[in-house]
Amino acid sequence: MVIDDDPRPTLDLLWHGIAAPRRGPRHRLTVDAVVEAATGIAEEEGLAALSMRRVAAALGVGAATLYTYIPDKSALLALMVDTMIAEVPLPHTRPGTWREKTARQAREDLAGYRAHPWLVDLMATDHPIGPGALAWTDSAIRMFDGTGLSDREVLSVIESVDGYVRGHASRVVEADRTARRAGRSEAQLEYLARNLEPGRFTAIERLTEPGPDAEEVFEQGLGWLLDGVEHRIRAAADRR
């Protein structure tokens, strides 16, 4: 999903709010109220159920009225994303080292995606940058002040960690959804155990213990990623 080619109306809304009406009755809603109603629908019914008409009905107004606040659905989605980001504590305000702050942020982001599954798909879209997102990015950069990394390297770290979390979150959220289909995984494992001929997948056959669960995979992968960043920081210190 890509936001409209001209981002200016959405950017104006993100940064300056709704313009005063030139004529007609005063606005009796607020952008915040519209975003709250839309978020409620996404939370309860998923993004597939979200439409401008559905939000208007939830607010007790006509769809035409809603469009005087929000120009289109893409703008509404951008507002929803930025509002959620703005509610997250700024990373650099956390206690601890850059590594402790980054790891805590990554864990909280993953928990946020699991609590709000609709965000997983939405965060992967191209949307105009709002004040919430820019404040978060500014704060994330500040976590690495004094590490010796260049600004370009810091941005690479931030994007790498964010991409890692979002990639893992997409799998975990999907697993959460399919977990409701009780017995599916167990039945699949039983089928494979009965039907695969010996010697076909020799590496798999060497496994004598269950594989790591999702939490263990996340923590190990995050640790390895941050180990690499730490190595880079030490190398930068050696160069000074």
Same-domain status, 109 and 72? no
One-letter amino acid for residue 235 of the chain:
A
Same-domain status, 14 and 99? no
Q: How far apart are CA 154 and CA 158, in angstroms?
A: 6
Q: Is residue 134 part of a domain?
A: yes
Q: Which of 3-17, 27-41, 160-174 has the lowest mean pLDDT?
A: 3-17
Q: How far apart are CA 144 and CA 79, in angstroms?
A: 28
Express each pLDDT in 59-93 by its tens digit.
999 999 999 899 999 999 999 999 999 999 999 99
Q: Which domain holds residue 31?
A: 8-83
Number of domains in the chain: 2
Query: Per residue in 127-163, is it b (16+ CB within 10 Å) or e — as a string?
Result: bbbbebbeebbebbbbbbeebebeeebbeebbeebbe
What is the CATH number for 29?
Answer: 1.10.10.60
pTM of the model: 0.83
Same-domain status, 14 and 76? yes
